[in-house]
């Protein structure tokens, strides 16, 4: 099947995104392959996000605007609830691929045609995406970063894969996209970041409500409750020290991990998934040392 004939739908949760969402909308409406449906869920925004979405929804009948009640936070569980509100509207449509698209990214006109072609080439591919870049961050070094993980900025799922993992799980502390992709691999699906394309992330990741330093501390805490192996976290700490903010960033990452351990923070994942995560991490460490 030609990738242009593969039907796909998109869901975008948006909370106070008036500075960025128009870039995302314009990126989608100029795609070489358009989505069958795009549900944009305004998750209680208090800025001008509503007006921007409505303006484009009036022009394009495949864009569906959904408004949820107002709230003041940007926590991760709220994003899942917003996504699920969009999913309820489109889940009975006919489509092969479903995408979770952030409201603060932009990309080239053939972005989705490229990703659809990857699903067309590999029937075992369950989740696909590309790296994201920022003005001050030019992307991960995939000699060390996991190319099997797919960034939450834009994740495309084969429909059967998304349904088999039960969709996204509402976890207040974050990691929802990572859990979804890792669960897909645990269930036998292939997942992949394709580096031939990138998307531009306009808000510095992890800083929606935090400074960059606090974001690193919270990332360490999240690494703990998502089940990271302690040895993996040590090497992750040293890797972080090689990037800005030098040394301090790595220390905050590890302190967040250790603090969560001291407090015995509850892990919102199954024992089976944690064991799978740790096996993958130890295998990746072996592969890194083998290459070095």
Residue 80 belongs to a domain with what CATH number? 3.90.550.10
The answer to whether 191 and 118 are in contact (CB under 8 A) is no
Residue 133, φ and ψ in degrees, nearest 5:
-125, 160
207 lies in some domain: no
The answer to whether 10 and 38 are in contact (CB under 8 A) is yes
206 lies in some domain: no
pLDDT of residue 245: 86
pLDDT of residue 144: 57
- Structural domains counted in the chain: 2
pLDDT of residue 210: 62
pTM above 0.85, yes or no: yes
Asked which of 201, 222, 249 is the last residue of a domain, the reply is 201
In the chain, which residues have pLDDT < 50?
207
pLDDT of residue 75: 65
Asked which of 151, 171, 201 is the last residue of a domain, the reply is 201
- Residue 26 structural domain: 3-201
pLDDT of residue 223: 97
pLDDT of residue 1: 63
Going by C-alpha positions, the residue among 34, 103, 102 that lies closest to residue 63 is: 34
CA distances to 14, 70, 106, 155 from 166, rounded to whole Å, are 22, 27, 28, 15
């Amino acid at each position: 099947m030609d990738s242009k004939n593969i039907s796909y739908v998109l869901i975008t949760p948006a909370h106070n995104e008036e500075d960025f969402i128009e870039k995302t909308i314009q990126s989608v409406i100029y795609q070489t392959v358009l989505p069958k449906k795009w549900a944009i869920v305004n998750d209680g925004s208090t800025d001008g996000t509503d007006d921007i979405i409505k303006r484009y929804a009036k022009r394009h009948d495949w864009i569906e605007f959904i408004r949820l009640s107002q709230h003041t936070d940007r926590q991760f569980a709220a994003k899942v609830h917003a996504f699920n509100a969009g999913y309820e509207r489109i889940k009975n449509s006919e489509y092969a691929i479903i995408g979770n698209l952030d409201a603060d990214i932009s990309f080239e006109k053939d972005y989705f045609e490229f990703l659809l072609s990857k699903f067309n080439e590999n029937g075992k591919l369950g989740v696909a995406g590309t790296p994201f870049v920022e003005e001050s961050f030019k992307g991960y070094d995939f000699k060390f970063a996991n190319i099997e993980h797919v960034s939450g900025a834009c994740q495309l799922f084969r429909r059967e894969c998304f349904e088999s993992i039960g969709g996204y799980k509402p976890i207040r502390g974050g990691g929802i996209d990572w859990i979804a992709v890792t669960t897909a691999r645990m269930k036998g699906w292939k997942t992949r970041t394709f580096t031939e394309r990138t998307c531009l992330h306009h808000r510095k990741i992890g800083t929606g409500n935090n400074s960059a330093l606090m974001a690193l501390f919270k990332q360490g805490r999240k690494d703990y409750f998502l089940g990271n192996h302690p040895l993996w976290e040590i090497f992750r700490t040293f890797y972080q020290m090689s990037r800005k903010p030098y040394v301090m960033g790595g220390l905050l990452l590890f302190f967040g991990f250790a603090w969560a351990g001291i407090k015995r923070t509850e892990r919102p994942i199954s024992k089976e998934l944690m064991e799978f995560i740790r096996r993958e991490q130890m295998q990746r460490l072996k592969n890194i040392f083998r290459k070095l």
